[in-house]
């Protein structure tokens, strides 16, 4: 490093993807700078669900015998989910808590608290610096480094991690294949005690194959919202806010749950860049992670797990670059193959499922009817989408 403003790795964006990369690099003697345009802690519109992939990645990010996920107290364990189909049939899929060693299949978290917790686990490293309220305005690619220009300064880095999310994806036409979501925190929701630890999904013809979700949190709050794949939604996005309130007031089940509820935060919306085969995940010394790499699950709309994993994989690849002192485009581009091998087959199959269900909504109802009544079929499906660890412990 030639000056105090130089670093080994710069990370633009302090969401789960960027922070997972930094956690992977922590303690390796690399000088790391993390930039984010917001002051922390900051609010973030998101469902806030940590699934199996997120849990497994967080375990890998633990260090010095410290289990990262265990240290975050304000998480709500999830032991099942409930589906309300287009025909208003309710199906519940729950883990049998009477069996030994039943672990949650996931957790729900407040992203503002969760992201801040991950950040705090980095700042005890003297080689890591955090620059809040600092946007990377421009990048200049040189032969041996990348120059970053922010509002306040000029930095040089050997490798840049692009964790800036969707706003810096220049091609706006690709949004036609993305999804859009709006969400809010709600208090005083009337749900039964057993529903405090299950995810609820409500499917309606207006946004199908999208859904309305209720994800319970601790302290009497819930995260609620609409997930809408744009390919199959023909109305204006401006209508979604109106539909949100119409649904919670008129739906046969939701109206009762929301009778005394009120919003605990403003209703916010955002784009979800759904993963698709043949993506581009690197440009020379720039590696893309999370939403910047378009890695949101096309079926469920979940992005935190893929963001954490991609950040971790980027960090591992960076370590190899420094270990072998190889920063050639050829060596760096192998990150493309790493991401593609893990995600693209999965993305392709899940896009096919969504496309099929959009054309055959009756099949959607029949599928959950079979899942509810056929234990072997239920175990098979759960093994595919979760793991055999959970399929063997269903009620």
Tens of pLDDT, residue by residue over 307-362, are: 999 999 999 999 999 999 999 999 999 999 999 999 999 999 999 999 999 999 99
Where are the strands (E) in the chain, listed by range? Answer: 6-12, 32-35, 49-50, 75-78, 80-84, 90-94, 106-109, 128-131, 136-141, 146-150, 154-162, 179-187, 199-202, 211-216, 221-229, 262-263, 268-272, 282-283, 286-288
Interior/surface letters 33-68, b for 16+ CB within 10 angstroms, e for the rest: bbbbbbeebbebbbbbbbbbbbbebbeebeeeeeeb
The total of structural domains in the chain comes to 2
Dihedral, CA of residue 185, residue 183, residue 306 and residue 334, to nearest 10: -130
DSSP letters spanning 55-83 = HHHHHHT-BTTB-TTTT--SEEEE-EEEE
Q: State pLDDT tens for residues 193-246.
A: 888 999 999 999 999 999 999 999 998 899 999 999 999 998 999 999 999 999
> Within 10 Å of residue 299's Cβ, how many Cβ atoms?
20
- Least confident range from 20-34, 98-112, 159-173, 291-305: namely 159-173
Q: What is the DSSP letter of 343?
A: H
The pLDDT confidence band at residue 386, using thresholds 50, 70 and 90, is: low
Mark whether 294 and 322 lie in a shared domain.
yes
The pLDDT confidence band at residue 1, using thresholds 50, 70 and 90, is: very low
The pLDDT confidence band at residue 388, using thresholds 50, 70 and 90, is: very low
Mark whether 301 and 229 lie in a shared domain.
no
Residue 310 falls inside a structural domain:
yes
The pLDDT of residue 236 is 93
The pLDDT of residue 3 is 56
**Which CATH number covers residue 231?**
3.30.9.100
The pLDDT of residue 276 is 84
Residue 1 falls inside a structural domain:
no
8 Å CB contact between 67 and 186: no
The pLDDT confidence band at residue 5, using thresholds 50, 70 and 90, is: low
Mark whether 253 and 119 lie in a shared domain.
no
The whole model's pTM is what? 0.93
Residue 202 falls inside a structural domain:
yes
> Domain range spanning residue 84?
75-108+179-272+362-391
**Which CATH number covers residue 155?**
3.50.50.60
Q: State pLDDT tens for residues 53-90.
A: 999 999 999 876 578 999 999 999 999 899 999 999 99
């Amino acid at each position: 490093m030639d000056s105090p403003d130089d670093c080994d790795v710069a990370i633009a964006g302090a969401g789960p993807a960027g922070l997972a990369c930094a956690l992977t690099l922590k303690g390796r003697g690399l000088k790391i700078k993390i930039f984010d345009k917001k002051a922390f802690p900051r609010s973030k519109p998101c469902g806030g669900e940590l699934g199996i992939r997120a849990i497994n990645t967080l375990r890998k990010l633990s260090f010095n015998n410290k289990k990262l996920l265990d240290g975050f107290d304000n998480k709500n364990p999830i032991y099942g989910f409930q589906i309300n189909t287009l025909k208003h049939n309710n199906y519940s899929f729950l883990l049998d808590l009477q069996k030994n060693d039943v672990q949650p299949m996931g957790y729900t978290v407040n992203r503002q608290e969760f992201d801040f917790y991950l950040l705090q686990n980095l700042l005890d490293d003297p080689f890591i610096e955090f620059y809040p309220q600092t946007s990377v305005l421009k990048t200049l690619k040189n032969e041996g480094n990348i120059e970053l220009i922010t509002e306040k300064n000029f930095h040089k880095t050997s490798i840049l991690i692009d964790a800036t999310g969707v706003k810096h994806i220049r091609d706006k036409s690709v949004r036609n294949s993305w999804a859009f979501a709006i969400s809010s925190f709600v208090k005083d929701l009337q749900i039964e005690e057993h529903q405090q630890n299950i995810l609820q999904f409500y499917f309606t013809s207006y946004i199908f194959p999208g859904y309305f979700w209720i994800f319970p949190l601790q302290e009497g709050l819930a995260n609620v919202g609409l997930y809408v794949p744009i390919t199959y939604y023909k109305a204006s996005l401006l209508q979604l806010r109106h539909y949100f309130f119409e649904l919670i007031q008129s739906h046969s089940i939701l109206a009762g749950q929301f009778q005394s509820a009120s919003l605990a935060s403003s209703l916010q919306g955002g784009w979800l860049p759904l993963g698709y085969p043949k993506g581009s995940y690197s440009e020379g010394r720039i590696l893309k992670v999370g939403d910047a790499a378009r890695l949101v699950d096309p079926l469920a709309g979940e992005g935190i797990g893929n963001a954490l994993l991609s950040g971790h994989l980027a960090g591992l690849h960076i370590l190899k670059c420094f270990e072998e002192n190889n920063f050639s485009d050829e060596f760096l581009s192998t990150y493309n193959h790493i991401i593609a091998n893990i995600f693209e087959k999965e993305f392709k199959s899940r896009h096919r499922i969504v496309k099929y269900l959009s054309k055959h909504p009756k099949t959607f109802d029949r599928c959950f009817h079979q899942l509810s009544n056929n234990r072997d079929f239920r175990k098979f499906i759960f093994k595919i989408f979760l793991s055999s660890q959970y399929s063997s412990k269903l009620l």
